[in-house]
A and B are shown apart, each in its own frame.
Chain A
């Protein structure tokens, strides 16, 4: 456990970061918080209930397999906010589940502060928390009851957790009265804020945010994004964030990875990704992250719905293996 006790980020890096003093980029020497090495995960499509689906059993297993994550490698340093962009079905949530110990990889290794997520799953669970796209709560229970349940699971003192829960909920705009009412009476945006409060309550050192703002109204989305920005300064957390929202990724992340059909085709700072796109395409002098995404995946983003539709043929980009801040084609 000693490997997770590290020095504070250096003050120069904190001061130089563009996020208005609220957050700080990690120094190059910061320890590795998350290491994903050549990780692969496939699923068997299998019969889906109809009699003709059972005929698929006759097909060779290899033909039934869907490759969700395909040889992904990258590292995240302590204090970093790394975004993972990708279309629906590109493997973002599978990757988050693999890190969360909710799925077992077919190949490769994942370590969180040096602890293997398969062999040392229980120790890893003390260090992480996850906010998923669906706020997973007992909806009949109040936010406070849900948070106290979480607090006990993570061995927090209930009285202290109650005080801290109220404090966190208040910061997210959820008053005392709402904190005691059933969650089914809350909007989805409010529920998502409670999910974030629950994750923070357990003080994770690695926070996994799986599309935390998908489906939220603009106001709720902005509140959640502001809260993520404050996280680094107040909670010393490393964040891995998956999203469809290009602006969100651009605003929040130190580095952005692009997943395409389970393969990580790029991982770099937003500025570097844009520079690469400018050099390799005719996207103009000021390419957006959407241009980057289209260039790397061959997909266009429908910003109004957050849905992604294929409009360009096969992407030209090759998968890359990424070590720390550097990327090289394989």
Chain B
């Protein structure tokens, strides 16, 4: 027999089961709703998924072929293996982190496109759980895609990671993912407030991150006025530290400064982003901006 809405809202705790556990179970079920829904959408858009994966792969390969041809182009001796690995790290991390950023930042945009924003926002689910569900899928999806591209590229270019410190790199990527998610939550506010232009603004932010974070080059080559924005991007610290770990085998202590900055960014951006999102949602409800057509 189906339970009533009220019973599901305040489920009776079985003997010996703490109420908090039941509440956690309820939140987990709701959070998984977003993971499962996004997975189903990925399956249904399989054709486009393949197209984007091929595009990412071709894009990555093209950049690495530039590295492979640099000696030939310039006529000067170049450490080609180093340059390929340098660009491979940039390409792979950018594909992963921008995927995470886009997936989280477009949480509301998707709902607007599909016309489901009002349904989702009137469901009895906290925004924290909503965003956590979206983030779990975004990270899983981003890791799988980036790994797929990475493996193919490594096989083609025979990249050697003999002196790489993979553990340090993994810790930096984990900390960086959290801070990028925090930034993306802030950007997810834009489509909530600006019904049409919000998605465009998010795309611009994503593009600027590519420019200032040193994805394919050291940030030192940027003009001064642009370089001053680099420290604001968590991706700058991720790339710098992961390159140090994979190219030079740097231990965790050598990149501790960047790790601390990333941890602080995550600790600041995620909770404040969720709070800002709830304030923006309240503003949208006061001004009537949740309607699909705006």
Contact = CB atoms under 8 A, between A and B. Distances in A.
Interface of A: 1, 4-5, 43-44, 94, 97, 100-104, 122-123, 125-128, 130, 132, 134, 136-141, 145, 148-150, 152-156, 160, 164, 182, 202-205
B287 interface: yes
The interface residues of chain B, by DSSP majority, are classed as: helix
Contacts of A43: 287-288
Contact of A153 (B40, B114, B124, B288): B124
Contacts of B6: 1, 4-5, 126-127, 205
5 contacts: A104-B286, A141-B41, A153-B125, A154-B123, A202-B5
A155 B11 contact: yes
Sorted nearest first, the 6 A-B pairs with minimum C-beta distance are A152-B33, A126-B9, A125-B124, A140-B44, A153-B123, A155-B8
B216 interface: no
B114 A138 contact: yes
Nearest to A68: B288
B287 A1 contact: no
B121 interface: yes
B287 A44 contact: yes
Q: Interface centre among B6, B10, B119, by most A CB within 10 Å?
A: B119
Contact of B115 (A4, A104, A134, A149): A134
A13 B245 CA distance: 77
B116 interface: yes
Contact of A102 (B3, B8, B116, B122): B122
A6 B5 CA distance: 14
Q: Taking each of A122, A153, A204, which has the highest tally of chain B beta carbons within 10 Å of its own beta carbon?
A: A153
A104 B282 contact: yes
Contact of A122 (B40, B45, B126, B290): B126
A128 B5 CA distance: 8
B116 A138 contact: yes
B285 A104 contact: yes
Interface stretch (B24-32, B49-57, B253-261): B24-32
Interface residues of B, number: 39
Contacts of A154: 5, 8, 123-124
Contact of B5 (A104, A126, A149, A164): A126
Contacts of A94: 288
B8 A156 contact: yes
A205 B9 contact: no
Contacts of A136: 114-116, 118-119, 292
Nearest to A200: B2
B30 A155 contact: yes
A140 to B, nearest CB: 4
B36 interface: yes
Interface in B115-174: 115-116, 118-126
B4 interface: yes
A145 B287 CA distance: 32
A196 to B, nearest CB: 13
B19 interface: no
Contacts of A138: 37, 40-41, 114, 116
B116 A205 contact: no
Contacts of B124: 122-123, 125-126, 153-155
A252 B38 CA distance: 38
Most buried by B among A128, A145, A164, A182: A145
Given A141-B37, A149-B36, A164-B2, 7 more contacts: A97-B288, A123-B9, A130-B119, A136-B118, A153-B33, A155-B8, A155-B30
Nearest to A124: B124
Nearest to B118: A102
A11 B253 CA distance: 77
